[in-house]
């Protein structure tokens, strides 16, 4: 702890890119890379007026950051996908202001991987405790009710729990490769009825004379990403005031940078007689996992959503040797297409004694019920044999 100074930063760009990325590491999923977080800020998809004020905490030794906790001060709960309305209601019943709150996650991305990023030559436990103490001091000084770390990296969870964070279990969907070599193996994992259903759905798209193309690398340019944004915007607008249109067009344009091109995979649906897209989905990859993010369509075509957002990405993941595919939040329809339910953890700190005691007494039972729900959900999946074991981030 000698010579360490804590600083709060209102932009990731206040932290030097090279040193910051060295702490984050190339093996960390793309959603926490310096450039990804900077693109969210530069595009004003994430900013104070959107209710996401960057407030990153760093520990510096002389002129070098040695530990970083990516954090945001939030005035709402949108774009988190961990639904904390029960906590907000409790705060209201106790006469407390639930907002603003501190959030640790990659904004707008329900992807498992949050942690404090600490230089490998430092004592991780000691600096984790130091960061937590600084967060606690900041929250109590400014009257902030809670700090919440969402979709935490399972490898980091115990360190945070040792610092008295409370664990709340929720669920997500994931598809795992296991020993499957190709799409035929994927189909073979289902019972006969669901195998027929998937074949029928894919055939319906093919019979509509629609082809699906997957592009990545330097094939992804500003024009393609502009089209992707239009599909994303159109899809969000379908839900009116409840549409989750968080990302600006300039964010998609930021992704045309060569640093991002190999991390993106776009699936483009078009008529056999035309290359003009009628639907698109965008996924992110690190060469090991695939994450489904955004999609949209100009035409309502039966099963096209399943093809562009699930079947084609799974086929691509199998072809390229990826170990799994996280399709994004929500959607019980994912279950019948091979996505199992998987627990994920968020970790919480509350700074008002009544709130803290009530939630901590409630959490063990709530977590037990959630684990039972996950087990029951997976028991109903249409697999030929037993549900595949969970081996990614369990």
Q: Residue 65 CB: number of other CB atoms within 10 A? A: 21
| Alpha-carbon span 208 to 100, nearest angstrom | 49
Calculate the CA 102 to chain-centre distance: 17
Structure tokens at 357: 């005691």
Domains assigned to the chain: 4-173+342-379 (3.40.630.30), 178-322 (3.40.630.30)
pLDDT at 393: 47
Q: Residue 141 CB: number of other CB atoms within 10 A? A: 8
pLDDT at 389: 64
Residue 349 φ then ψ, to 5°: -135, 130
- Reduced to 3 states (helix: H, G, I; strand: E, B; else coil), residue 282 is strand
Give residues with Cβ within 8 angstroms of 170, minimum separation 6: 82, 343, 344, 345, 346, 370
Per the CB < 8 A criterion, the answer to whether 143 and 100 are in contact is: no
pLDDT at 335: 87
Give residues with Cβ within 8 angstroms of 375, minimum separation 6: none
pLDDT at 394: 45
Global confidence as pTM = 0.94
- Per-residue pLDDT of the chain in tens (394 residues, 90 and over written 9): 668 999 999 999 999 999 999 999 989 999 999 999 999 999 999 999 999 999 999 999 989 999 999 999 999 999 999 999 999 999 999 999 999 999 999 999 999 999 999 999 999 999 999 999 999 999 999 999 999 999 999 999 999 999 999 999 999 999 999 999 999 999 999 999 999 999 999 999 999 999 999 999 999 999 999 999 999 999 888 766 555 679 999 999 999 999 999 999 999 999 988 889 999 999 999 999 999 989 999 999 999 999 999 999 999 999 999 999 999 887 778 888 999 999 999 999 999 999 999 999 999 999 999 999 999 999 999 997 665 666 544 4
Output the CA torsion 333→338→340→346 (10° steps).
Answer: -70
Per the CB < 8 A criterion, the answer to whether 326 and 377 are in contact is: no
């Amino acid at each position: 702890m000698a010579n360490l100074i804590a600083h709060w930063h209102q932009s990731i760009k206040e932290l030097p890119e090279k040193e910051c990325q060295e702490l984050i590491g190339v093996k960390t999923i793309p959603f926490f890379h310096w450039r990804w977080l900077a693109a969210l800020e530069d595009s004003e998809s994430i900013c104070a007026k959107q209710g996401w004020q960057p407030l990153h905490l760093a520990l510096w030794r002389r002129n070098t950051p040695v530990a970083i906790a990516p954090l945001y001060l939030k005035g709402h709960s949108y774009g988190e996908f961990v639904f904390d309305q029960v906590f907000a209601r409790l705060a209201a019943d106790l006469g407390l202001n639930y907002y603003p709150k501190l959030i640790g996650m990659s904004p707008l991305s329900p992807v498992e991987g949050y942690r404090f990023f600490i230089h490998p030559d430092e004592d991780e436990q000691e600096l984790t405790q130091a960061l937590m103490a600084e967060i606690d001091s900041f929250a109590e000084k400014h009257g902030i009710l809670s700090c919440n770390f969402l979709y935490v990296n399972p490898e980091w969870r115990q360190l945070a729990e040792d610092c008295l964070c409370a664990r709340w279990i929720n669920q997500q969907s994931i598809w795992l490769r296991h020993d499957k070599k190709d799409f035929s193996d994927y189909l073979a994992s289902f019972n006969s009825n669901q195998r027929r259903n998937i074949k029928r759905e894919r055939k319906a798209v093919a019979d509509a004379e629609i082809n699906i193309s997957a592009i990545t690398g330097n094939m992804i340019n500003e024009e393609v990403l502009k089209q992707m944004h239009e599909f994303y915007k159109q899809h969000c607008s379908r839900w009116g005031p409840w549409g989750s249109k968080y990302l600006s067009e300039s964010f998609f344009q930021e992704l045309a940078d060569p640093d991002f091109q190999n991390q993106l995979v776009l699936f483009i649906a078009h008529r056999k007689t035309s290359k003009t897209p009628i639907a698109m989905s965008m996924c992110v990859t690190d060469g090991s996992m695939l994450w489904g993010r955004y999609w949209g369509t100009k035409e309502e075509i039966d099963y096209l959503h399943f093809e562009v957002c699930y079947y084609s990405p799974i086929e691509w993941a199998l072809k390229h040797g990826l170990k799994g595919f996280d399709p994004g939040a929500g959607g019980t329809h994912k279950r019948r297409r091979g996505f199992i339910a998987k627990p994920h953890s968020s970790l919480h700190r509350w700074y008002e004694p009544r709130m803290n005691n009530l939630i901590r007494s409630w959490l063990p039972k709530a977590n037990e019920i959630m684990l039972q729900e996950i087990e029951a959900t997976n028991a109903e999946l249409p697999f030929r044999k037993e549900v595949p074991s969970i081996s990614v981030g369990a």
